Amino acid sequence: MAFLWSERRIRWYLDASGRSDFHRRLAQCLLPELKPTDRVCDLGCGLGRLDLELAPHVAEITCVDTDAAVLDRLAADAADRGIGNLKLLRCGAEQLRGEYDAVVMAFFGTPPALMLSALRHARRTLLRVMSLAGESASGGGTGRRRETAADVARALEAAGWPYALRRCTLSFGQPLASVEDAAAFLRASLPEATGQQVRQLLREQLVPAGDRDFPWYLPKEKALGIFVVDAAGGPRR
């Protein structure tokens, strides 16, 4: 099931990205694996904040998503920044055609089979970025178990794809306009949480931010795993 970008989710995400260096720092973690001449494909790009940071360092990025609203917003933001090397493609990952020097799958919540399929589009490397926290949680209320780093590692090893796993921790908290906004954010992020649990989280985690527009803040440290998959030689057994 694809992630659903409501207007409210888009607003929250842009607020968080615009007031942190999360995507700039994540791009720095990926850049050692990329070259200035690379043609890159970002599968499930969403709002493309990572692509906007990577774009000045590569030849071209094809940004793939099924959601027209997020692609429209990405196109407008790229134009505002004078970034001209993004190509936007509205389709599912399974419909992708062509080859790229590198394929990026950042926070792409899917069974390993689709990642293994995406490897045929990568000439040199596939970079899979995923959260290492809450690995036993369900998939955002979809009723499906969330894929874990262990799942990805087992799938790659079973198929014979060589990889390295890098780890990093980056801050990506949520600025919020009001306590009510914070409660709505938690309910959307944790659809299985009860009202009592949401109120408890607000008491424990919500802090004053000292910002006129966003007086409240939910801190969050994201423990990330970056799978660097060697796609050049194909599976090895």
What digits encode the pLDDT tens for the residues 85-112?
999 999 998 899 999 999 999 998 777 8
> 168 and 105: one domain?
yes
DSSP 43-101: ET-TT-HHHHHHGGGSSEEEEEES-HHHHHHHHHHHHHTT---EEEEES-GGG--S-EE
**Mean pLDDT along residues 147-165:** 93
> 191 and 78: one domain?
no
Please indicate, yes or no, if residue 236 is contained in any of the structural domains: no
> 90 and 37: one domain?
yes
Count of the separate structural domains present in the chain: 2
Q: Containing domain of residue 116, as a range?
A: 7-172+221-230
> 118 and 206: one domain?
no
> 46 and 60: one domain?
yes
> 96 and 153: one domain?
yes
Residues in the chain, overall count: 237
> 157 and 50: one domain?
yes
Please indicate, yes or no, if residue 211 is contained in any of the structural domains: yes
Band the pLDDT of 24: cuts 50, 70, 90.
very high
pLDDT tens string 184-217? 999 999 999 999 999 999 999 999 999 999 999 9
Structure tokens at 203: 């008491």
Please indicate, yes or no, if residue 198 is contained in any of the structural domains: yes
pLDDT of residue 133: 77
pLDDT of residue 135: 45
pLDDT of residue 234: 78
Band the pLDDT of 237: cuts 50, 70, 90.
low
Model confidence, pTM = 0.91
Three-state secondary structure call for residue 119? helix
> 149 and 84: one domain?
yes
Percent of the chain with pLDDT over 90: 85
Per-residue burial over 36-54, b = 16 or more CB atoms within 10 Å of its CB, e = otherwise = eebbbbbbbbbbbbbbbbb
**Mean pLDDT along residues 24-50:** 97
